[in-house]
A = this chain, B = another copy of it.
């Protein structure tokens, strides 16, 4: 697998995209279309929140279509808690794009992100979609990545190349979201496109598993948005022999997709609202995968742990405590805990008891922008990794006056 720097979604054959400013936001780009010129299969995972935004409800239907050629995204307004009017508006967005692109409405997916409860300004959105359809280009990937942002401070994108069946295949994704939590106002959206030839069923399987180990392992605080979604599209233009079962080609594709999704998830965590540090929790030797994930997620989601990392305070008691109230199973008296990064490694806990550690080295490690917490449960052979960021003054500042 090769990482292709400076490539983006429109470098994948037969994918066009564009991001424009239509007027939902004051100045910044706020409307994006991703379009495959060829027929394409799609897979999606959607928020588990019981309060689902209108575009999520629409997509959960449209994703059943065998062909999906376009995704329309607006930022600045989430079209959530907007009742029947909201659903009608989402449907109108799909039909408007479908008309422009010569597709059926069910071949179009919709995403919205921004403020909740305010009706979409359709007088702006409809002409915006028409303009965007006219502007679609093979170089529009970067503008598309910009147009899906809300409180994000940088665009998130990655492209990799793999070889399958003698063909060079590209997988490229863009994301938005501020990773401290999956905030309802800064929804987590991710769109991954590929020219791989794969069945809809296998694409769905690959995406579902991949999301579990990537976007679902970034720090959450439980604040799962009404609008979260991840969509993958594959148009088969690479002409590898169709992947329609879990063969070696599938495994190769899945590995690359995992990498793309994990990298995008880490970028979201790193761009956490107000965040200054990326924290990675590596959990080893749990009895089951479930225990490993529950433990890793509990640590990365603790506000006390996050605050301590902001202050470069080697407060390992909070890590043990967060493990203790997780639903994961383990023996407290077996746990080892380490902090690691380029600066070095320091062990803080052995067999559940605090060690006399080098405080200066710990402080040096914690002062860096990337920190790994390694936790060894010594109770089995399953592992999990979770990502998050520190909790800072600026998080409170951003979220104390979002609507203002």
Chain A interface (Cβ within 8 Å of chain B)? 48-52, 78, 80-83, 115-118, 180-181, 183-185, 221-226, 298, 301-304, 307-308, 310-311, 313-318, 320-325, 330, 332-333, 349, 351-354, 391-393, 395-397, 399-404
Contacts and interface: CB of A to CB of B under 8 A. Distances in A.
Contacts of A322: 222-223
A185 B400 contact: no
B400 A321 contact: no
Contacts of A225: 321
B222 A396 contact: no
Give the number of times this chain occurs in the complex, counting copies: 2
A357 to B, nearest CB: 11
A325 B401 contact: no
Given A330-B50, A332-B50, A397-B393, A313 B402 contact: yes
Contacts of A317: 78, 80-81, 115-117, 184-185, 226
Interface centre among A310, A324, A395 (most CB of B within 10 A): A324
Nearest to A180: B303
A49 B325 contact: yes
A327 to B, nearest CB: 10
Contact of A324 (B51, B78, B83): B51
Interface centre among A315, A325, A352 (most CB of B within 10 A): A325
Contacts of A184: 304, 317-318, 321
A81 B117 CA distance: 47
Contacts of A395: 303, 307, 396
A324 to B, nearest CB: 3
B325 A224 contact: yes
Contact of A81 (B52, B226, B353, B393): B353
B83 A352 contact: yes
A396 B49 contact: no
A267 to B, nearest CB: 21
B303 A50 contact: no
Given A78-B317, A223-B321, A310-B396, 12 more contacts: A51-B324, A116-B317, A116-B320, A180-B303, A222-B301, A223-B303, A223-B318, A226-B317, A303-B303, A307-B396, A391-B396, A395-B396
B116 A302 contact: no
Given A83-B352, A353-B81, A400-B308, A324 B49 contact: yes
A289 B354 CA distance: 41
A349 B81 contact: yes
Nearest to A298: B222
A181 B313 contact: no
A82 B313 contact: no
Contacts of A400: 307-308, 310-311, 313
Contacts of A115: 317
A303 B398 CA distance: 12
A65 to B, nearest CB: 26
A181 B321 contact: no
Contacts of A48: 325
A185 B305 CA distance: 12
A301 B303 CA distance: 11
A49 B324 CA distance: 5
22 contacts: A50-B325, A51-B323, A81-B317, A83-B353, A116-B318, A117-B353, A117-B354, A181-B303, A185-B317, A185-B318, A222-B302, A223-B304, A224-B324, A224-B325, A303-B395, A307-B395, A310-B396, A311-B399, A311-B404, A392-B396, A393-B393, A393-B396
B221 A302 contact: yes
A353 B26 CA distance: 25
Contacts of A303: 180-181, 221, 223, 303, 395, 399
Given A222-B301, A310-B396, A313-B400, A51 B81 contact: no
A323 B117 contact: no
